[in-house]
Amino acid sequence: MEEKTIQSNFIRNIVINDLETGKHNKIITRFPPEPNGYLHIGHAKAITLNFELADEFNGETNLRFDDTNPEKEEEEYVRSIIEDVSWLGFDWERLLYASDYFDEMYERAILLIKKGKAYVDELSSDEIREYRGTLTEPGKESPFRNRPIEESLTLFQEMKEGKHPDGSMVLRAKIDMTSPNMNMRDPVIYRIIHADHHNTGDKWCIYPMYDYAHPLEDAIEGITHSLCTLEFEDHRPLYDWVVRECEMESIPRQIEFARLNITNTVMSKRKLKVLVEEGIVDSWDDPRMPTISGLRRRGYTPEAIKNFCRAIGISKTNSVVDQQMLEHFIREDLKLKAPRTMAVLRPLKVVITNYPKDQVELLEAENNPDNPEMGVRTIPFSREIYIEQEDFMENPPKKYFRLFPGNEVRLKNAYFIKCNKVIKDEEGNVVELHCTYDPETKSGTGFTGRKVKGTIHWVEASQAIPAEIRLYEPLILDEEEQEDKDFLENINSNSLEILEGFVEPNMVDVKPQDKFQFFRHGYFNVDPKHTTKEKITFNRIVSLKSSFKL
Protein backbone atom coordinates (compact mmCIF):
# COMPACT_ATOMS: atom_id res chain seq x y z
CA MET A 1 0.00 0.00 0.00
CA GLU A 2 1.27 3.42 -0.85
CA GLU A 3 0.67 6.05 1.80
CA LYS A 4 1.11 9.30 0.00
CA THR A 5 0.45 11.73 2.80
CA ILE A 6 2.59 14.73 2.15
CA GLN A 7 4.89 15.74 4.99
CA SER A 8 6.07 19.26 4.76
CA ASN A 9 9.72 20.17 5.17
CA PHE A 10 11.92 23.24 4.85
CA ILE A 11 12.68 22.60 1.17
CA ARG A 12 9.02 22.26 0.29
CA ASN A 13 8.38 25.54 2.14
CA ILE A 14 11.05 27.27 0.05
CA VAL A 15 9.43 25.96 -3.13
CA ILE A 16 5.97 27.10 -2.04
CA ASN A 17 7.35 30.54 -1.28
CA ASP A 18 9.17 30.78 -4.62
CA LEU A 19 5.97 29.92 -6.46
CA GLU A 20 3.86 32.33 -4.42
CA THR A 21 6.23 35.25 -4.84
CA GLY A 22 6.51 34.54 -8.56
CA LYS A 23 10.25 33.90 -8.39
CA HIS A 24 9.49 30.79 -10.43
CA ASN A 25 6.42 29.80 -12.41
CA LYS A 26 7.46 26.22 -12.52
CA ILE A 27 10.01 24.28 -10.54
CA ILE A 28 12.55 21.98 -12.09
CA THR A 29 14.57 19.53 -10.02
CA ARG A 30 17.06 16.86 -10.98
CA PHE A 31 18.49 13.64 -9.67
CA PRO A 32 22.18 13.70 -10.64
CA PRO A 33 23.94 10.40 -9.90
CA GLU A 34 27.52 9.80 -10.88
CA PRO A 35 27.52 6.48 -12.79
CA ASN A 36 30.33 5.03 -10.68
CA GLY A 37 28.30 2.37 -8.89
CA TYR A 38 24.80 1.10 -8.23
CA LEU A 39 22.23 3.24 -6.44
CA HIS A 40 21.56 2.61 -2.75
CA ILE A 41 18.70 3.37 -0.38
CA GLY A 42 20.28 6.76 0.38
CA HIS A 43 19.83 7.65 -3.27
CA ALA A 44 16.20 6.54 -2.97
CA LYS A 45 15.75 9.31 -0.42
CA ALA A 46 17.13 11.90 -2.86
CA ILE A 47 15.12 10.43 -5.76
CA THR A 48 11.85 10.44 -3.84
CA LEU A 49 12.47 13.98 -2.61
CA ASN A 50 13.29 15.43 -6.04
CA PHE A 51 10.60 13.66 -8.04
CA GLU A 52 7.76 14.05 -5.56
CA LEU A 53 8.52 17.70 -4.86
CA ALA A 54 8.39 18.60 -8.55
CA ASP A 55 5.39 16.38 -9.11
CA GLU A 56 3.40 17.98 -6.32
CA PHE A 57 3.75 21.42 -7.92
CA ASN A 58 3.41 20.30 -11.55
CA GLY A 59 7.09 20.74 -12.13
CA GLU A 60 9.65 18.57 -13.84
CA THR A 61 12.54 16.35 -12.78
CA ASN A 62 15.50 15.39 -14.93
CA LEU A 63 17.57 12.28 -14.54
CA ARG A 64 21.07 13.49 -15.20
CA PHE A 65 24.22 11.45 -15.22
CA ASP A 66 26.99 13.44 -13.65
CA ASP A 67 29.62 11.78 -15.80
CA THR A 68 32.61 14.07 -15.57
CA ASN A 69 35.05 11.53 -14.17
CA PRO A 70 35.83 9.05 -16.98
CA GLU A 71 38.10 6.77 -14.97
CA LYS A 72 35.40 5.67 -12.56
CA GLU A 73 32.33 5.61 -14.74
CA GLU A 74 30.84 2.75 -16.71
CA GLU A 75 27.94 1.98 -18.99
CA GLU A 76 26.85 -0.87 -16.68
CA TYR A 77 26.21 1.67 -13.94
CA VAL A 78 24.24 3.92 -16.28
CA ARG A 79 21.98 1.00 -17.18
CA SER A 80 21.45 -0.06 -13.59
CA ILE A 81 20.60 3.49 -12.48
CA ILE A 82 17.99 3.85 -15.23
CA GLU A 83 16.49 0.51 -14.25
CA ASP A 84 16.40 1.36 -10.55
CA VAL A 85 14.81 4.80 -10.92
CA SER A 86 12.14 3.37 -13.25
CA TRP A 87 11.51 0.45 -10.93
CA LEU A 88 10.88 2.87 -8.08
CA GLY A 89 8.13 4.23 -10.30
CA PHE A 90 9.47 7.64 -11.29
CA ASP A 91 9.27 9.19 -14.76
CA TRP A 92 11.89 11.75 -15.61
CA GLU A 93 11.18 14.67 -17.90
CA ARG A 94 14.56 14.40 -19.65
CA LEU A 95 17.40 11.92 -19.47
CA LEU A 96 20.64 13.85 -19.74
CA TYR A 97 24.38 13.49 -19.48
CA ALA A 98 26.66 16.16 -18.05
CA SER A 99 29.12 15.12 -20.74
CA ASP A 100 26.73 16.55 -23.33
CA TYR A 101 27.65 19.96 -21.98
CA PHE A 102 31.42 19.59 -22.25
CA ASP A 103 31.58 22.07 -25.14
CA GLU A 104 29.61 24.70 -23.30
CA MET A 105 31.61 24.16 -20.10
CA TYR A 106 34.79 24.64 -22.10
CA GLU A 107 33.48 27.87 -23.63
CA ARG A 108 32.51 29.19 -20.21
CA ALA A 109 36.00 28.38 -18.92
CA ILE A 110 37.47 30.50 -21.73
CA LEU A 111 35.12 33.28 -20.68
CA LEU A 112 36.46 33.01 -17.13
CA ILE A 113 40.06 33.21 -18.37
CA LYS A 114 39.24 36.23 -20.51
CA LYS A 115 37.65 37.97 -17.53
CA GLY A 116 40.77 37.32 -15.48
CA LYS A 117 38.82 34.86 -13.31
CA ALA A 118 40.76 31.72 -14.17
CA TYR A 119 44.37 30.79 -14.95
CA VAL A 120 46.44 27.83 -15.97
CA ASP A 121 48.60 26.69 -13.09
CA GLU A 122 51.71 24.54 -13.49
CA LEU A 123 52.27 23.77 -9.84
CA SER A 124 52.18 20.04 -9.10
CA SER A 125 49.18 18.69 -7.23
CA ASP A 126 51.33 18.37 -4.08
CA GLU A 127 52.40 21.98 -4.37
CA ILE A 128 48.83 23.11 -4.91
CA ARG A 129 47.87 21.33 -1.72
CA GLU A 130 50.77 22.91 0.16
CA TYR A 131 49.98 26.39 -1.13
CA ARG A 132 46.34 26.05 -0.15
CA GLY A 133 47.08 26.64 3.54
CA THR A 134 44.97 25.28 6.37
CA LEU A 135 41.85 26.21 8.27
CA THR A 136 43.96 28.45 10.49
CA GLU A 137 46.48 29.69 7.94
CA PRO A 138 45.75 31.57 4.73
CA GLY A 139 46.90 30.08 1.44
CA LYS A 140 49.76 31.33 -0.75
CA GLU A 141 49.33 32.52 -4.30
CA SER A 142 50.78 30.37 -7.05
CA PRO A 143 53.60 32.02 -9.07
CA PHE A 144 51.45 31.34 -12.15
CA ARG A 145 48.42 33.13 -10.75
CA ASN A 146 49.12 36.43 -12.44
CA ARG A 147 50.39 35.14 -15.76
CA PRO A 148 49.01 37.05 -18.77
CA ILE A 149 45.50 36.13 -19.85
CA GLU A 150 46.78 35.32 -23.36
CA GLU A 151 49.22 32.78 -21.94
CA SER A 152 46.47 31.01 -20.01
CA LEU A 153 44.25 30.98 -23.08
CA THR A 154 46.98 29.38 -25.18
CA LEU A 155 47.89 26.82 -22.55
CA PHE A 156 44.25 25.89 -21.91
CA GLN A 157 43.78 25.39 -25.64
CA GLU A 158 46.89 23.18 -25.68
CA MET A 159 45.61 21.22 -22.70
CA LYS A 160 42.49 20.50 -24.69
CA GLU A 161 44.49 19.51 -27.74
CA GLY A 162 46.38 16.89 -25.76
CA LYS A 163 49.73 18.66 -25.90
CA HIS A 164 50.40 18.26 -22.18
CA PRO A 165 50.58 15.11 -20.07
CA ASP A 166 48.24 14.26 -17.18
CA GLY A 167 49.05 16.24 -14.06
CA SER A 168 51.32 18.77 -15.78
CA MET A 169 48.92 21.69 -15.43
CA VAL A 170 45.37 22.55 -14.39
CA LEU A 171 42.92 25.38 -14.83
CA ARG A 172 42.08 27.13 -11.57
CA ALA A 173 39.42 29.66 -10.69
CA LYS A 174 40.95 32.90 -9.46
CA ILE A 175 39.03 33.75 -6.32
CA ASP A 176 40.75 34.33 -2.98
CA MET A 177 43.69 32.43 -1.49
CA THR A 178 42.96 33.91 1.93
CA SER A 179 39.28 33.03 2.07
CA PRO A 180 38.23 31.36 5.33
CA ASN A 181 36.34 28.91 3.11
CA MET A 182 38.98 26.55 1.72
CA ASN A 183 36.79 25.79 -1.29
CA MET A 184 37.22 29.40 -2.43
CA ARG A 185 41.03 29.27 -2.46
CA ASP A 186 41.43 29.10 -6.21
CA PRO A 187 39.81 25.69 -6.74
CA VAL A 188 40.96 23.56 -9.64
CA ILE A 189 38.21 23.55 -12.28
CA TYR A 190 39.80 21.50 -15.11
CA ARG A 191 42.39 18.75 -15.11
CA ILE A 192 44.07 16.70 -17.82
CA ILE A 193 43.04 13.04 -17.98
CA HIS A 194 43.91 11.05 -21.07
CA ALA A 195 41.14 8.51 -20.61
CA ASP A 196 38.28 7.21 -22.71
CA HIS A 197 34.89 8.48 -21.64
CA HIS A 198 31.87 6.15 -21.76
CA ASN A 199 29.93 8.79 -23.69
CA THR A 200 32.38 11.08 -25.47
CA GLY A 201 35.08 8.51 -26.25
CA ASP A 202 38.46 10.17 -26.85
CA LYS A 203 37.10 13.58 -27.82
CA TRP A 204 38.29 15.13 -24.57
CA CYS A 205 41.43 14.83 -22.53
CA ILE A 206 40.51 17.61 -20.13
CA TYR A 207 37.63 17.13 -17.72
CA PRO A 208 35.82 19.64 -15.49
CA MET A 209 35.80 19.21 -11.70
CA TYR A 210 32.52 18.58 -9.88
CA ASP A 211 32.40 22.03 -8.25
CA TYR A 212 32.68 23.73 -11.63
CA ALA A 213 30.58 21.31 -13.66
CA HIS A 214 27.63 20.80 -11.35
CA PRO A 215 26.39 24.42 -11.12
CA LEU A 216 26.74 24.76 -14.89
CA GLU A 217 24.76 21.57 -15.48
CA ASP A 218 22.01 22.87 -13.21
CA ALA A 219 21.98 26.29 -14.87
CA ILE A 220 21.99 24.89 -18.42
CA GLU A 221 18.96 22.73 -17.62
CA GLY A 222 17.11 25.55 -15.89
CA ILE A 223 17.04 23.68 -12.60
CA THR A 224 15.36 25.92 -10.04
CA HIS A 225 16.14 24.00 -6.86
CA SER A 226 19.31 21.94 -6.78
CA LEU A 227 19.02 19.61 -3.82
CA CYS A 228 22.10 17.92 -2.42
CA THR A 229 23.45 16.50 0.80
CA LEU A 230 24.87 18.56 3.69
CA GLU A 231 28.54 18.00 2.92
CA PHE A 232 28.11 20.42 0.01
CA GLU A 233 27.02 23.29 2.24
CA ASP A 234 30.57 24.71 2.28
CA HIS A 235 30.66 24.45 -1.50
CA ARG A 236 27.63 26.66 -1.99
CA PRO A 237 29.61 29.95 -2.23
CA LEU A 238 31.65 28.37 -5.01
CA TYR A 239 28.48 27.06 -6.68
CA ASP A 240 27.05 30.57 -6.71
CA TRP A 241 30.38 32.04 -7.86
CA VAL A 242 30.51 29.70 -10.88
CA VAL A 243 26.93 30.49 -11.93
CA ARG A 244 27.56 34.21 -11.58
CA GLU A 245 31.02 34.49 -13.13
CA CYS A 246 30.11 32.18 -16.01
CA GLU A 247 27.23 34.57 -16.66
CA MET A 248 24.59 31.89 -16.74
CA GLU A 249 21.13 33.10 -17.56
CA SER A 250 19.20 30.78 -15.35
CA ILE A 251 20.17 30.84 -11.67
CA PRO A 252 19.66 27.62 -9.74
CA ARG A 253 19.56 27.59 -5.95
CA GLN A 254 21.45 24.90 -4.08
CA ILE A 255 19.75 23.62 -0.94
CA GLU A 256 21.32 21.01 1.31
CA PHE A 257 19.60 18.31 3.37
CA ALA A 258 20.83 15.53 5.66
CA ARG A 259 21.90 12.31 4.01
CA LEU A 260 20.32 9.04 5.01
CA ASN A 261 22.30 6.69 7.21
CA ILE A 262 20.92 3.38 8.46
CA THR A 263 22.12 1.27 11.39
CA ASN A 264 24.30 -1.75 10.57
CA THR A 265 24.72 -0.50 7.01
CA VAL A 266 27.45 1.14 4.97
CA MET A 267 26.05 3.64 2.56
CA SER A 268 28.55 4.81 0.05
CA LYS A 269 29.16 3.52 -3.43
CA ARG A 270 32.88 3.45 -2.74
CA LYS A 271 32.46 1.05 0.19
CA LEU A 272 29.77 -1.00 -1.49
CA LYS A 273 32.11 -1.43 -4.42
CA VAL A 274 34.77 -2.81 -2.08
CA LEU A 275 32.28 -5.38 -0.77
CA VAL A 276 31.68 -6.54 -4.36
CA GLU A 277 35.33 -6.50 -5.40
CA GLU A 278 36.54 -8.31 -2.28
CA GLY A 279 33.92 -11.02 -2.81
CA ILE A 280 32.31 -10.33 0.57
CA VAL A 281 29.01 -10.28 -1.32
CA ASP A 282 28.23 -11.93 -4.67
CA SER A 283 27.36 -8.81 -6.60
CA TRP A 284 25.88 -5.33 -6.38
CA ASP A 285 22.43 -6.91 -6.17
CA ASP A 286 23.29 -9.38 -3.43
CA PRO A 287 20.18 -9.42 -1.18
CA ARG A 288 22.30 -8.25 1.77
CA MET A 289 23.31 -5.05 0.00
CA PRO A 290 21.52 -1.74 0.72
CA THR A 291 21.48 -1.09 -3.02
CA ILE A 292 18.13 -0.61 -4.72
CA SER A 293 18.85 -3.73 -6.80
CA GLY A 294 19.83 -5.70 -3.68
CA LEU A 295 16.67 -4.63 -1.86
CA ARG A 296 14.62 -5.55 -4.93
CA ARG A 297 16.17 -9.01 -5.05
CA ARG A 298 15.71 -9.40 -1.32
CA GLY A 299 12.00 -8.74 -1.92
CA TYR A 300 11.48 -5.09 -1.04
CA THR A 301 8.80 -3.31 -3.06
CA PRO A 302 8.98 0.22 -4.50
CA GLU A 303 6.03 1.17 -2.27
CA ALA A 304 7.83 0.06 0.90
CA ILE A 305 10.98 1.96 -0.06
CA LYS A 306 9.08 5.12 -0.96
CA ASN A 307 6.91 5.00 2.16
CA PHE A 308 10.11 4.67 4.18
CA CYS A 309 11.70 7.64 2.40
CA ARG A 310 8.61 9.75 3.02
CA ALA A 311 8.45 8.80 6.68
CA ILE A 312 12.08 9.62 7.52
CA GLY A 313 11.51 13.19 6.39
CA ILE A 314 13.92 15.87 5.27
CA SER A 315 16.02 17.82 7.72
CA LYS A 316 19.25 19.74 8.16
CA THR A 317 20.73 17.45 10.83
CA ASN A 318 22.50 14.19 10.08
CA SER A 319 21.22 11.17 11.97
CA VAL A 320 21.11 7.40 11.76
CA VAL A 321 17.80 5.68 11.06
CA ASP A 322 17.13 2.28 12.64
CA GLN A 323 17.03 -0.41 9.95
CA GLN A 324 13.96 -1.80 11.70
CA MET A 325 12.10 1.18 10.34
CA LEU A 326 12.77 0.02 6.80
CA GLU A 327 11.63 -3.48 7.80
CA HIS A 328 8.46 -2.01 9.26
CA PHE A 329 7.48 -0.63 5.86
CA ILE A 330 7.93 -3.87 3.96
CA ARG A 331 5.84 -5.75 6.52
CA GLU A 332 3.18 -3.08 6.19
CA ASP A 333 3.19 -3.33 2.43
CA LEU A 334 3.13 -7.12 2.20
CA LYS A 335 0.65 -7.75 4.99
CA LEU A 336 -2.35 -7.56 2.69
CA LYS A 337 -0.59 -8.46 -0.56
CA ALA A 338 1.46 -11.56 0.14
CA PRO A 339 -0.29 -14.94 0.16
CA ARG A 340 0.29 -17.08 3.25
CA THR A 341 1.78 -20.50 2.83
CA MET A 342 3.49 -23.12 4.97
CA ALA A 343 7.15 -23.91 4.55
CA VAL A 344 9.40 -26.12 6.62
CA LEU A 345 12.92 -24.74 6.78
CA ARG A 346 14.62 -27.49 8.84
CA PRO A 347 12.55 -30.62 8.20
CA LEU A 348 11.78 -33.45 10.59
CA LYS A 349 9.74 -36.37 9.22
CA VAL A 350 6.54 -37.30 11.08
CA VAL A 351 4.67 -40.56 10.38
CA ILE A 352 1.01 -40.52 11.43
CA THR A 353 0.64 -44.18 12.23
CA ASN A 354 -3.16 -44.34 12.41
CA TYR A 355 -3.69 -42.52 9.12
CA PRO A 356 -4.60 -44.89 6.25
CA LYS A 357 -1.71 -45.81 3.99
CA ASP A 358 -2.01 -44.52 0.41
CA GLN A 359 -4.68 -41.99 1.38
CA VAL A 360 -4.23 -38.34 0.51
CA GLU A 361 -6.91 -35.83 1.41
CA LEU A 362 -7.20 -32.21 0.41
CA LEU A 363 -7.62 -29.63 3.12
CA GLU A 364 -8.65 -26.02 2.77
CA ALA A 365 -6.42 -23.18 3.85
CA GLU A 366 -6.97 -19.44 3.79
CA ASN A 367 -4.62 -17.52 1.52
CA ASN A 368 -4.56 -14.46 3.71
CA PRO A 369 -6.61 -14.15 6.92
CA ASP A 370 -5.95 -10.38 6.87
CA ASN A 371 -7.37 -10.14 3.37
CA PRO A 372 -10.22 -12.63 2.85
CA GLU A 373 -10.55 -11.55 -0.79
CA MET A 374 -7.46 -13.59 -1.50
CA GLY A 375 -9.56 -16.73 -1.11
CA VAL A 376 -8.59 -20.25 -0.18
CA ARG A 377 -6.36 -22.97 -1.55
CA THR A 378 -6.20 -26.70 -1.03
CA ILE A 379 -3.24 -28.49 0.46
CA PRO A 380 -2.67 -32.25 0.62
CA PHE A 381 -2.47 -34.17 3.88
CA SER A 382 -1.39 -37.78 4.30
CA ARG A 383 0.37 -40.26 6.56
CA GLU A 384 3.77 -38.62 6.21
CA ILE A 385 4.49 -34.96 6.76
CA TYR A 386 7.42 -32.72 7.61
CA ILE A 387 7.44 -30.45 10.59
CA GLU A 388 10.06 -27.99 11.81
CA GLN A 389 12.88 -29.57 13.85
CA GLU A 390 12.55 -26.86 16.47
CA ASP A 391 8.87 -27.71 16.94
CA PHE A 392 9.87 -30.92 18.71
CA MET A 393 11.82 -31.38 21.94
CA GLU A 394 12.41 -34.68 23.62
CA ASN A 395 12.95 -33.10 27.02
CA PRO A 396 11.18 -29.76 26.86
CA PRO A 397 11.46 -27.00 29.43
CA LYS A 398 8.34 -25.74 31.16
CA LYS A 399 6.04 -23.69 28.94
CA TYR A 400 7.13 -25.47 25.78
CA PHE A 401 3.78 -26.05 24.11
CA ARG A 402 4.92 -27.66 20.92
CA LEU A 403 5.49 -31.32 20.26
CA PHE A 404 7.15 -33.63 22.82
CA PRO A 405 6.56 -37.26 23.76
CA GLY A 406 3.00 -37.65 25.02
CA ASN A 407 1.95 -34.11 24.04
CA GLU A 408 -0.72 -33.09 21.55
CA VAL A 409 -0.54 -30.08 19.21
CA ARG A 410 -2.62 -28.64 16.42
CA LEU A 411 -1.33 -28.91 12.87
CA LYS A 412 -2.26 -25.62 11.21
CA ASN A 413 -5.21 -26.16 8.80
CA ALA A 414 -5.35 -29.92 9.67
CA TYR A 415 -5.71 -32.13 12.78
CA PHE A 416 -4.43 -32.55 16.32
CA ILE A 417 -1.53 -34.97 16.50
CA LYS A 418 0.07 -36.61 19.50
CA CYS A 419 3.65 -37.79 19.69
CA ASN A 420 4.10 -41.43 20.71
CA LYS A 421 7.52 -42.51 19.62
CA VAL A 422 10.87 -40.92 18.82
CA ILE A 423 13.14 -42.59 16.26
CA LYS A 424 16.87 -41.84 16.49
CA ASP A 425 19.91 -42.64 14.42
CA GLU A 426 23.04 -44.35 15.77
CA GLU A 427 24.39 -41.04 17.06
CA GLY A 428 21.23 -40.31 18.98
CA ASN A 429 19.84 -37.64 16.65
CA VAL A 430 16.08 -37.54 16.31
CA VAL A 431 15.31 -38.50 12.71
CA GLU A 432 11.60 -39.31 12.77
CA LEU A 433 8.56 -39.09 14.99
CA HIS A 434 5.63 -41.44 15.20
CA CYS A 435 2.37 -39.74 16.00
CA THR A 436 -1.33 -40.46 15.93
CA TYR A 437 -3.99 -38.05 14.73
CA ASP A 438 -7.56 -37.56 15.90
CA PRO A 439 -9.99 -37.41 12.91
CA GLU A 440 -12.53 -35.54 15.10
CA THR A 441 -10.28 -32.51 15.36
CA LYS A 442 -10.23 -31.52 11.71
CA SER A 443 -9.72 -27.81 11.22
CA GLY A 444 -12.82 -25.86 10.21
CA THR A 445 -15.31 -28.39 11.62
CA GLY A 446 -15.83 -26.50 14.85
CA PHE A 447 -14.35 -29.14 17.11
CA THR A 448 -14.45 -27.99 20.74
CA GLY A 449 -13.88 -31.23 22.57
CA ARG A 450 -10.52 -30.25 24.04
CA LYS A 451 -7.92 -27.58 23.64
CA VAL A 452 -4.22 -27.70 22.81
CA LYS A 453 -1.79 -24.92 23.45
CA GLY A 454 0.51 -25.22 20.47
CA THR A 455 -0.11 -24.81 16.74
CA ILE A 456 2.66 -25.82 14.39
CA HIS A 457 3.02 -25.78 10.60
CA TRP A 458 3.84 -28.67 8.32
CA VAL A 459 4.08 -29.80 4.71
CA GLU A 460 2.81 -33.12 3.31
CA ALA A 461 5.88 -35.22 2.50
CA SER A 462 5.14 -36.99 -0.78
CA GLN A 463 4.20 -33.85 -2.68
CA ALA A 464 6.36 -31.29 -0.86
CA ILE A 465 8.64 -29.28 -3.13
CA PRO A 466 12.26 -29.05 -2.01
CA ALA A 467 13.41 -25.46 -1.86
CA GLU A 468 16.53 -23.56 -0.97
CA ILE A 469 15.85 -20.97 1.67
CA ARG A 470 18.23 -18.13 2.38
CA LEU A 471 18.14 -16.30 5.69
CA TYR A 472 20.00 -13.06 6.18
CA GLU A 473 21.51 -11.09 9.02
CA PRO A 474 23.00 -7.59 8.73
CA LEU A 475 26.24 -7.46 6.80
CA ILE A 476 27.75 -4.94 9.18
CA LEU A 477 28.18 -5.66 12.91
CA ASP A 478 28.44 -2.21 14.49
CA GLU A 479 25.21 -0.28 14.63
CA GLU A 480 26.91 2.97 13.75
CA GLU A 481 30.01 3.43 11.69
CA GLN A 482 33.13 4.35 13.67
CA GLU A 483 35.24 7.02 12.04
CA ASP A 484 38.50 5.45 13.20
CA LYS A 485 37.67 1.88 12.23
CA ASP A 486 37.97 0.32 8.80
CA PHE A 487 34.51 -0.91 7.89
CA LEU A 488 36.00 -4.17 6.64
CA GLU A 489 36.87 -5.07 10.25
CA ASN A 490 33.20 -4.89 10.92
CA ILE A 491 31.81 -7.47 8.54
CA ASN A 492 29.41 -10.06 9.91
CA SER A 493 30.73 -13.39 8.66
CA ASN A 494 27.38 -15.04 9.45
CA SER A 495 25.18 -12.81 7.34
CA LEU A 496 23.90 -15.63 5.14
CA GLU A 497 22.46 -19.01 6.11
CA ILE A 498 21.35 -21.44 3.40
CA LEU A 499 18.79 -24.11 4.28
CA GLU A 500 17.27 -26.99 2.32
CA GLY A 501 13.60 -27.07 3.23
CA PHE A 502 10.20 -27.91 1.79
CA VAL A 503 7.31 -25.81 0.53
CA GLU A 504 3.72 -26.62 -0.40
CA PRO A 505 3.06 -28.26 -3.78
CA ASN A 506 1.12 -25.12 -4.81
CA MET A 507 4.44 -23.39 -5.13
CA VAL A 508 5.28 -25.34 -8.26
CA ASP A 509 4.61 -22.44 -10.60
CA VAL A 510 6.04 -19.50 -8.68
CA LYS A 511 7.84 -16.83 -10.65
CA PRO A 512 10.91 -14.83 -9.74
CA GLN A 513 10.07 -11.94 -7.40
CA ASP A 514 6.80 -13.54 -6.18
CA LYS A 515 6.36 -12.81 -2.50
CA PHE A 516 4.84 -14.93 0.26
CA GLN A 517 4.35 -14.99 3.96
CA PHE A 518 5.65 -18.30 5.29
CA PHE A 519 3.56 -19.06 8.35
CA ARG A 520 5.58 -18.15 11.49
CA HIS A 521 8.78 -17.49 9.50
CA GLY A 522 8.29 -14.14 7.84
CA TYR A 523 8.08 -12.74 4.34
CA PHE A 524 9.98 -14.38 1.49
CA ASN A 525 10.80 -13.52 -2.11
CA VAL A 526 11.51 -15.91 -4.98
CA ASP A 527 15.12 -15.16 -5.86
CA PRO A 528 15.45 -14.24 -9.55
CA LYS A 529 19.05 -15.38 -9.91
CA HIS A 530 19.16 -18.69 -8.05
CA THR A 531 15.74 -20.00 -9.04
CA THR A 532 15.88 -22.48 -11.92
CA LYS A 533 13.48 -25.02 -13.39
CA GLU A 534 14.90 -27.59 -10.99
CA LYS A 535 15.07 -25.53 -7.83
CA ILE A 536 13.22 -22.64 -6.23
CA THR A 537 15.26 -20.36 -3.99
CA PHE A 538 13.62 -18.03 -1.50
CA ASN A 539 15.15 -15.00 0.19
CA ARG A 540 13.81 -14.07 3.57
CA ILE A 541 12.89 -10.40 3.27
CA VAL A 542 12.10 -9.93 6.92
CA SER A 543 10.87 -11.96 9.88
CA LEU A 544 7.34 -11.46 11.16
CA LYS A 545 7.84 -9.79 14.47
CA SER A 546 9.49 -6.62 15.42
CA SER A 547 9.66 -4.59 18.56
CA PHE A 548 9.82 -1.48 16.41
CA LYS A 549 7.11 1.12 16.89
CA LEU A 550 6.72 3.96 14.47
Q: How far is the CB of 195 from Mg ion (least distance, A)?
A: 17
Select 269 or 328, whichever has its Cβ closest to ligand ATP.
Answer: 269
Angle at 234 between CA 231 and CA 237, to 5 degrees: 135
Select 82 or 149, whichever has its Cβ closest to ligand ATP.
Answer: 82
Q: How far is the CB of 45 from Mg ion (least distance, A)?
A: 15
| Alpha helix ranges (H) inside 301-391 | 302-312, 323-335
Considering the candidates 64, 160, 253, 269, report the single residue annotated as catalytic. 269
Residue 43 touches which member of Mg ion, ligand ATP, none, C-beta under 5-8 Å by kind: ligand ATP
Among candidates 152, 78, 68, which has minimal Cα distance to 116? 152
Rounded to the nearest 10 degrees, the angle between the axes of helix 302-312 and helix 75-88 is: 80
CA-based Rg of the chain, rounded to a whole angstrom? 31
Residue 246 touches which member of Mg ion, ligand ATP, none, C-beta under 5-8 Å by kind: none
Quick check: is 450 catalytic?
no
Query: Under a CB-based contact definition with an 8 Å cutoff, are residues 187 and 234 in contact?
Result: no
Q: How far is the CB of 106 from ligand ATP (least distance, A)?
A: 22
Considering the candidates 23, 34, 141, 337, report the single residue annotated as catalytic. 34
Q: How far is the CB of 299 from ligand ATP (least distance, A)?
A: 22
Residue 42 touches which member of ligand ATP, Mg ion, none, C-beta under 5-8 Å by kind: ligand ATP
Q: How far is the CB of 41 from ligand ATP (least distance, A)?
A: 8
Length of the chain as a residue count: 550
Select 93 or 245, whichever has its Cβ closest to ligand ATP.
Answer: 93
Q: Which residues bind ligand ATP (CB under 6 A)?
A: 32-34, 42-43, 45-46, 228-229, 259-260, 267-269
Quick check: is 94 catalytic?
no
Select 43 or 340, whichever has its Cβ closest to Mg ion.
Answer: 43
Select 242 or 510, whichever has its Cβ closest to ligand ATP.
Answer: 242
- Fill in the DSSP letter of residue 403: B
Considering the candidates 117, 140, 145, 259, report the single residue annotated as catalytic. 259
Query: Under a CB-based contact definition with an 8 Å cutoff, are residues 338 and 523 in contact?
Result: yes
- Separation between Cα atoms, residue 432 and residue 449, nearest integer Å: 28
Residue 93 touches which member of ligand ATP, Mg ion, none, C-beta under 5-8 Å by kind: none
DSSP E strands in 230-352: the ranges are 253-257, 260-262, 319-321, 340-341, 343-344, 347-352
Residue nearest to Mg ion (CB): 34
**Which residue type sits at 477?**
L
Residue 314 touches which member of Mg ion, ligand ATP, none, C-beta under 5-8 Å by kind: none
- Separation between Cα atoms, residue 498 and residue 213, nearest integer Å: 47
Of 31-39, 140-148, 173-181, 437-445, the segment contacting Mg ion by CB under 5 A is: 31-39
Q: 3-state SS of 445-507?
A: CCCCCCCCCCEECEEECCCCEEEEEEEECCCECCCCCCCCCCHHHHECCCCEEEEEEEECHHH
- Separation between Cα atoms, residue 352 and residue 297, nearest integer Å: 39
Among candidates 197, 217, 214, 216, which has minimal Cα distance to 205? 197
Quick check: is 377 catalytic?
no
Residue 252 touches which member of ligand ATP, Mg ion, none, C-beta under 5-8 Å by kind: none
Select 189 or 267, whichever has its Cβ closest to ligand ATP.
Answer: 267
Residue nearest to ligand ATP (CB): 42
Q: How far is the CB of 5 from Mg ion (least distance, A)?
A: 32
Q: Give the residue numbers annotated as catalytic, written as ranges.
A: 34, 259, 269
Residues that bind Mg ion in the complex, under the rule CB under 5 A: 34
